[in-house]
Structure 1
Amino acid sequence: MSIFWFIPTHGDSRYLGTAKGSRNLDLKYLQQIATAADSLGYEGVLIPTGRSCEDPWVVASALLPVTQRLKFLVAVRPGLHQPALAARMAATFDRLSGGRLLVNLVTGGSEEELAGDGLFLNHAQRYQESEEFIRIWREILTRSHTGEPYDYDGQYLSVKGARLLYPPLQKPYPPVFFGGSSEAAHHLAAEQVDTYLTWGEPPAAVAEKLADVREKAQRRGRTLRYGIRLHVIVRETEEAAWQAADELISHVSEQTAAVAHAAFARMDSVGQQRMAALHKGRQGKTRKDLEISPNLWAGVGLVRGGAGTALVGSAEQVAERIKEYAALGIEDFVLSGYPHLEESYRFAELVFPLLPPSLHKGLQGQHDFSIGEVVANLYTPKVAQS
């Protein structure tokens, strides 16, 4: 199991849907989150992409010098990046980071946003272009280890004599992550990527999606890793966790939620449609209204696009839900929580010790977190064993 955290380049706050409690998003704050994730033992961090975000490659490069082992999951964007240039960027970052790059293939889910970036393709066309993009990208990087040029003539993308002189450190290329809920997305995942990501849906729905991608991959003689993207709200008690969930959306007005829901409805992303269907734009803001599965809460999705669900509960409950997803075949957990700095510590301190060592052997400090303050200048507190 690998546990990832999140770099909130679209903003951070104590409350959703309001300027109240918002954080000043500058380099020092992003570096605080990255160094916290690095020291706490998270496998890596996801850096988001899109119109509302700072550029992920610039941010990742700025965080590289202040971290030691943290991996960076950074987006490539078919239609916005050219595959040869994206391959060069990936190889450079991978070498300079000592092999700490992971690549997130993002097709985009809003025709309106993509039009603003100069991309005018419908849903089906974007997936066809993405298939050509990642095929070219992979081949250029793979052949860079032997110096072979690459030719490709596709419907949307073509290269002739593409060659990368400086190969990536990871062979044959940095691992590719990809998420999507449509049939086209499942086909692309099965054929081209290394890790398929799903947003946080109830376990039965996740199992169904994984089974479909797994079957498609097996038909192609391929085996994938699987991951899930979730928010987390964990506290010492279940009651405190649900209180924190209610507080997180306590300033969301009906007007703000309605505007967000209307915007989500205009997107052609199947994954976004599935997220919106979980809360159905409901204005109710209680556990009863928005708990869609044990400890799985759809409140974040009232105003946030993309991943809209959170695991809410005590440390023991959240750890149990994680193990349930792991039993389905999920290996990579990409998590976040508001505010992201404090919640990175809270999750690591409360939940990491409850995960079986065999499931998180890569995490630092499995059972020996800080001993705490020395008592009476003499006695050191004992570390509880899980």
Structure 2
Amino acid sequence: MPMPIQVFTTCPRSAEPEAFHSRALRTFELTERAGFTGTLIYTGNDVTVEPWFLAQELVTRHPRLSPLVAVNPIYMHPFTVARFISALASIHGRRCHLNLVAGTSLRDLEALDEELSHDERYQRVREFARIVMGLCSSTSPYSFGGDFYGVANLLLRPPVPAALRPGLFVAGQSAGASQTATALQACGLGMLQPDLGVLPAGSRGVHLGLVCRDTDAQAWSAAHALFPPDERGERMQRFSARNTDAVWKARMLSLADDKVAGVEGYWLEPFSRFQADCPFLVGGQEHIHRLLRQLLEQGIQHLVLELPAQEEDYVHAARAFASLTAVRVQPGDAPAPT
């Protein structure tokens, strides 16, 4: 039997609302052409279009794709999230996934009057997700009492059919992130390490970038053209690291600063230059095939794939996955991570 895998691309970031929106729509189009599962839509103070608005656009324009929506309790009550999920299910007959996050920049936390610690925010995520899933899974009034939330006889209308209930992902490398993924039976979404391991250990999902061409030489030529040296970007990344308590960012910058040797094709420069949010794999079709195969053999079932915003990169990425003959890419209505 072929091993199922979900591949989500990432929605690009832009400070200009019109540019952000147009690039997001282009990403959705290229993602569908490539035959991938869907797209991760970020949240945060710096995201210029509400993620759930984009999620609705995605399911309206591309009936096969599934949105993976980043959700942070600091921005929204769990009942509101459950209502969005219900609306996508009832109006569009579509299923979404949730990428549960606990943090944002320290400056934004201060602006939002957030006083909880890093670990407390993950505890709140757990309660948040339990209410969302409780509402989505219940056809009768739902009640919950916790340290951060309480609901009494709350009913979600209309209920969400079992096949359309959301899959859960938890991003992060901290102990709090790993414990939260375990507690919720969610898919842990880790960061790719130089030896092709994934932190936290045991994660079934991994975030990585990809530049692939027919040959290794062509791939590296394209990678250097797409992500040129940028001293200003490096300074911005260092500033960004001082403005967050995210464990994953500190660890990735430490790897970049120490110039840790990794497998051939593992590339951290775009991350260290503030050009990408993850490490990249760079290489020709044969080399990328071997690296992806190694990840799948470790039990990775879900990929969040950061690709340059041009059609050529999506075409080569699709070819790389198509070459994994023992693997099929799941569509957006695939079963939830468990």
1:306 positional shift: 7.4
Name the amino acid aligned to 1:32.
Answer: R
Alignment of 1:6-17 (within 5 A): 6-10=10-14
1:135 aligned counterpart, secondary structure: helix
Structure 2: which 5+ runs fail to align?
332-338
Change (3 A) 1:256 1:204: closer
Larger Rg: 1 or 2?
1
After TM superposition, what 4+ stretches of structure 1 lie above 4 angstroms from structure 2? Answer: none
Match of 1:30 in 2: 24
Deviations along 1:258-315, whole A, 9 cap, x unmatched?
Answer: 23213213311111112211212x8xxxxxx686332111012113387320010001
TM value normalised by structure 2: 0.88
Change (3 A) 1:265 1:28: closer
Which one of the candidate residues 308, 314, 328 is aligned to 1:360? 328
Name the amino acid aligned to 1:116.
Answer: A
Deviations along 1:174-224, whole A, 9 cap, x unmatched?
Answer: 111111211111111001143111122234642x6333x6xxxxxxxxxxx
Name the amino acid aligned to 2:12.
Answer: P
Match of 2:304 in 1: 334
Identity across matched positions, percent: 25
Moved more, 316-325 or 333-342: 333-342
Q: Does 1:316 align with 2:286?
A: yes
8 A contact 1:295–1:311 mirrored in 2: yes
Match of 1:286 in 2: none
Q: Does 1:347 align with 2:317?
A: yes
Alignment of 1:106-185 (within 5 A): 106-143=101-138, 146-147=139-140, 149-171=141-163, 173-185=165-177
Q: Does 1:243 align with 2:234?
A: no
Deviations along 1:79-102, whole A, 9 cap, x unmatched?
Answer: 221111111111112333323311
Structure 1: which 5+ runs fail to align?
13-22, 214-225, 283-288, 364-386
Q: Which has the higher contact order (CA 8 A, sep 6+)?
A: 2
Name the amino acid aligned to 2:153.
Answer: G
Q: Does 1:187 align with 2:179?
A: yes
1:11 positional shift: 6.7
User: Structure 2 CA distance, aligned partners of 1:319 and 1:65?
Assistant: 33
8 A contact 2:40–2:67 mirrored in 1: yes
User: Structure 2 CA distance, aligned partners of 1:125 and 1:6?
Assistant: 28
Match of 2:55 in 1: 60
User: Structure 1 CA distance, aligned partners of 2:164 and 2:57?
Assistant: 25
Which one of the candidate residues 60, 64, 71 is aligned to 1:69? 64
Match of 2:241 in 1: 264
